[in-house]
A and B are shown apart, each in its own frame.
Chain A
Amino acid sequence: MSILIKKPYSRRDVLRGVVGGVPVAVALPLLDFFLTDSGEALASGAPLPVRFGTWFWSMGHTPGHAVAERADKLEFLEECQALTRHVQHLNYFGQFNSPLDGRPNHVHHSGWVTTRTATAPILPGDIPEPTIDVLVADAIGGRTRFRSIDMTCTGNPRDSFTARSTHSKNAGEVSPAALYTRLFGPGYADPNAAEFKPDTDLMLQQSVLSGISEQRQRFEKRLGAADKARLDEYFTSVRQLENQLVLEQQKPVSADACHLPQKPADGPVGLEIPVAQANHDAMAKILVMALACDQTRVFNMAFNNALSSLRRPGTAYTHHTLTHEEAVDQTRGYQPEAFWFNCRVMESLAVFVDEFAKVREGKGTLLDNTLIFAHAETSYAKLHAVDNIPVFMIGRAGGRLKTGKHIVGHGDPISRVGLTAMQVMGLPVEKWGTGSLQTAKTITEVLV
């Protein structure tokens, strides 16, 4: 079969038209393939999509100075003061544990892996199961131009906490300018534009990709099982990009909240606190518009790297080294410098939420139609503790989530939080995790 004409959704008719020299501005009919479970979602006036994202920070909290221990009421202390303005829009999950079943605690790694995959890694650096965002994106990411938008504020694309497997880590965007170009540069179709003209070039691009997909069998026939699995991922990725191109050829559904954000200037990237904060804030502004304009429904933001190398200009110690090497101030009862960094991190989380709250969408805000799963990799960095890792669920997920609650886990596996988040996002998942982290217990207190 021709490279050009293939697959149920590969626009056979249109492309045949291309080959035959027929004008190519043929409106593409909506394809069932893209409407798996919510055909009406694309119709005008339909319910707004619910978005899912993660916000990662490392070094946890300063015990006793971040969140008040009382469970009846969610109350923030000095370190989380900035979040007080959002207290009615979020839940805090404390006292959930990460049982490792005898596997080693790979410091600053095991904690986030258990929280995101519900499986303890065996080896350092391993990501044994897909991270929660990847699972959510598998379910809802295929309907938008970008399956997921991944960002990191450290300047290093490797500082990313989203992966399908150890060797398949999604690299984070590090520069607001590059993020802008990727989302709103060439290929972006304004959903509110009066006219829409599908691009010949996009169809040809799609042919390029479907040509590649066709090589799958030929290429894979000689491979062993492991290599086949790897290549499967690649070919799945190609298929996803094909879908993205198909979507770009359709007239986008109008979105009231959508407007083109301001293009950020090229600035420095790096780990100095002011630089990381500036990039975080700039990327957050672009991200909320990418969501409002329905370019993606899944996102990942990493504020710092797992071994937080954030630092203040002119100082020798990084955030991470401070958590270990700074002496505890006996009067205050904590490490003052490390605490200072933790406060800045929580401020940035609050700013991130601000951006969601600013976007009016339907009768509420973008925040009401989003679930942000924010967490750290440890509870108390000084001790590398993986029990009681702080987790926030921020936003109302399209009204599916009750907020303003402090949920105490009493030592239950932390996977309960992730399982609940996935269920809120509509994933048909009953149980999640491996070993002691496996759970089927939803946290019903937060469900509407």
Chain B
Amino acid sequence: MTARALRLAPLAALALLGLAACGTAEPPTSGGAPTVRRLTESQYRNIIVDVFGSQIVVAGRFDPIVRTDGLLAVGASRATITPSGVERFAQLARSIAEQVVAPGNRELLLPCTPAAAAAPDDACARQFLSQAGRYLFRRKLADDEVATLVKLAAAGAQARGDFYAGLSYPLQSLLAAPDFLFVSENAEPNPDSPKLRRLDGYSKAARLSFLLWNSSPDETLLAAAESGTLATEDGLETQVERMMSSPRFQAGTRAFFTDMLGLDDFTTLEKDSLLYPAFSLAASDDSREQLLRTLVDELLTRDGDYRDLFTTRRTFMSSPLGMVYRVPVSQPGAWAPYEFPESDTRAGIHTLLSFVALHSHPGKSSPTLRGKAIRELLLCQKVPDPPSTVNFDQFNDPKSPNKTARNRLKAHSVDPACAGCHKLMDPIGLALEHFDGAGQTRFTENGEPIDPSGDLNGIAFTDAVGLGAAMRQDPAATSCVVRRAYSYAAARPVERGERDWITHLEQEFADDGFRFRQLIKRIALSDALYAVGRPAVQTAANERPVARM
């Protein structure tokens, strides 16, 4: 363990931080239960592109996954597939399979040509299906599985008088199969630990590839799983190094933050086009992309400090966004780097549209929603749901002298039923009031100047930029990303028996200068991620385990 920790730390960091900080061994954990998780829409799409190429159109909708313990990745471990969901997956499977065997694609994707195009060819079908099946099921197919598929191909070819048409049926079968749609993990004995088991090679490979690439394992990773090298420290490190140096690690990072920051909500984000004409569909799409580009740039390209996300002035700008931010775009029609000037009201990802517009109403801002989002998404603090007896009488009276949200929200702090929770949300949400419901800068509301000052856990600030500086100092911000990243990787909440490990991980993250890349690497190389505890006491599908941090 110590040896690996040492290898992990860059030499420069070693010199700076001293050996003590880097050499701590990974504390033991209780292990977690293996998961069975439904592929998310983006994972499904990525796999299809990886296996069959980007020319295959994946047109369809997916059953929603319920965000659980802050992550869709955790919800995926609870998700099932409804009858209409099965119908849609079957339709998708059919459409994909038909495209794969269509002229133009079949030449590229099939490793062989059938002896006769109008008749079955078991050998060719076997070759193709065992290969495609291996990638789709993330494991080698058993002989009898292949045989069954080949038989279906032959039946189809005979009935349709066309080898390729016949081949589409077993392919559909693969694409609609539980082995494809659910990532089901298995445990095996761990020779190094009498108490804990560990994920087997294929399960480990899947965790790695979904964490790092948001897709299924590639040939090299599958081979490493099959040969057993993935079970060794060196073998694991080789794979993690390889995968993290691939450009696909960006896709994995984007997927993680899309989940952590709830960016899936963009698909249904609506803004009133009369009130906010500049907030077009293109602007909505681009604001999501802007945040992801900013994250990739800060965390991967620059290998920066995670905390700087709350203070950075650097971002990227596109033409549609320029009109909402009201800033010049140096290359109209393309993405270009942009830096908010010192004097600007914006710095930090919490001031980007993807935050302030997403956490607003269609026609107005919402300090409460924004405050809640900062607490829950960025600081991992749960804000209780509003009481049912809520009374807003004081909040909004059209004749009221309360022109700004701050004045209106005073009702919250006056009413003891509201004050408890709203003091968590409103003061930080009000810091973002310089941004209207579409995230556009404004300095007044109903003609009255807006006061964006407040405090976060005792640190006073004067505006959104100051709020970012306060968040940068808040240990909750860094501990939040640590927990979310681990929980995302494991597709389950952090277990009680993993507390020491998480504390350790937080310390290592700090020692690494809060480098996100290092955090993911430490998680990917940890024993904890692959440790499986005693046969887990399974809870009913609806019940949430309580033993959690």
Contact = CB atoms under 8 A, between A and B. Distances in A.
A204 B86 contact: no
A346 interface: no
B390 A224 contact: no
A125 B470 CA distance: 32
Contacts of A4: 151-152, 155
A327 B391 CA distance: 11
B186 A231 contact: no
Interface string B339-376: 00000000000000000000001111000000000000
A224 B159 CA distance: 40
Interface in B232-288: 268, 270, 272-275
B151 A3 contact: yes
Contact of A2 (B93, B148, B389, B390): B148
A271 interface: yes
A225 B538 contact: yes
Interface stretch (A31-39, A50-58, A160-168): A160-168
A128 B542 contact: yes
Interface string B378-403: 00000001111111110111110000
A309 interface: yes
A311 B363 contact: yes
Given A209-B176, A212-B177, A270-B270, A167 B363 contact: no
Interface string A124-150: 111110000000000000000001101
A25 to B, nearest CB: 11
Nearest to A17: B159
A171 B63 contact: yes
A326 interface: yes
Interface residues of B, number: 76
Interface stretch (B73-81, B107-115, B501-509): B73-81
Contacts of A383: 388-389, 391
B393 A231 contact: no
Contacts of B182: 231, 234
B101 to A, nearest CB: 13
B237 to A, nearest CB: 29
Contacts of A227: 36, 184, 538
B390 A107 contact: yes
Interface stretch (A284-292, A314-322, A416-424, A432-440): A314-322
Given A123-B544, A171-B61, A315-B363, A231 B178 contact: yes
Contact of A167 (B33, B75, B392): B75
Interface in B497-543: 535-536, 538-542
B66 A325 contact: no
A235 B362 CA distance: 40
**Residue among A211, A215, A224 facing the most chain B CB atoms (10 A cut-off):** A211
A272 B36 CA distance: 39
A84 to B, nearest CB: 32
B173 A211 contact: yes
Interface in A236-252: 236-238, 240-241, 244
Contacts of B85: 170-171, 237
A106 B82 contact: no
**Residue among B94, B387, B388 facing the most chain A CB atoms (10 A cut-off):** B388
Contact of A18 (B61, B84, B159): B159
B541 A148 contact: no
Interface string B57-83: 000010111100000000100111111
B63 A169 contact: yes
B274 A171 contact: no
A223 B536 CA distance: 11
A170 B273 contact: no
Given A223-B184, A384-B390, A208 B172 contact: yes
Contacts of A382: 391-392
A321 B181 CA distance: 39
Interface in A206-220: 207-209, 211-212, 214-216, 219
A19 interface: yes
A8 interface: no
Nearest to B166: A204
B33 A224 contact: yes
Given A223-B36, A325-B395, A384-B388, A167 B176 contact: no
Interface residues of A, number: 89
A64 B128 CA distance: 69
A230 B36 contact: yes
B50 interface: no
Nearest to A21: B158
B178 A157 contact: no
B82 A208 contact: no
B151 A222 contact: no
B90 interface: yes
A219 B184 contact: yes
A301 to B, nearest CB: 15
B84 A230 contact: no
A181 to B, nearest CB: 10
A318 B363 contact: yes
B210 interface: no
B437 interface: yes
B64 A168 contact: no
A316 B61 contact: no
Contact of A207 (B66, B152, B272, B535): B152
B66 A169 contact: yes
Contact of A234 (B78, B86, B149, B152): B86
A229 B540 CA distance: 8
B82 A168 contact: yes
Contacts of B398: 326-327
A204 B81 contact: no
A230 B78 contact: yes
Interface string B424-464: 00000000000001000000000000000000000000000
Nearest to B79: A167
B390 A148 contact: no
B81 A234 contact: yes
Contacts of A309: 270, 361-362
Contact of B272 (A127, A204, A316): A316
Contact of A171 (B84, B158, B273, B388): B84
Contacts of A81: none
B390 A316 contact: no
B53 to A, nearest CB: 23
Given A18-B159, A204-B155, A224-B536, A240 B542 contact: no
B40 to A, nearest CB: 13
Interface string B140-163: 000000001101101110111000
A155 B281 CA distance: 14
Interface of B: 33, 36, 61, 63-66, 75, 78-87, 90, 93-94, 148-149, 151-152, 154-156, 158-160, 169-170, 172-173, 176-179, 181-182, 184, 186, 268, 270, 272-275, 361-364, 385-393, 395-399, 437, 535-536, 538-542, 544
Given A165-B80, A166-B78, A271-B362, 14 more contacts: A3-B151, A4-B152, A157-B61, A167-B79, A170-B63, A205-B90, A208-B90, A208-B169, A225-B538, A230-B80, A244-B87, A316-B364, A325-B392, A325-B395
7 contacts: A148-B84, A208-B152, A224-B33, A224-B535, A234-B182, A241-B83, A309-B270
In the A-B complex, list the 4 residue pairs whose CB atoms are closest, starting with the nearest: A105-B388, A314-B274, A325-B396, A316-B363
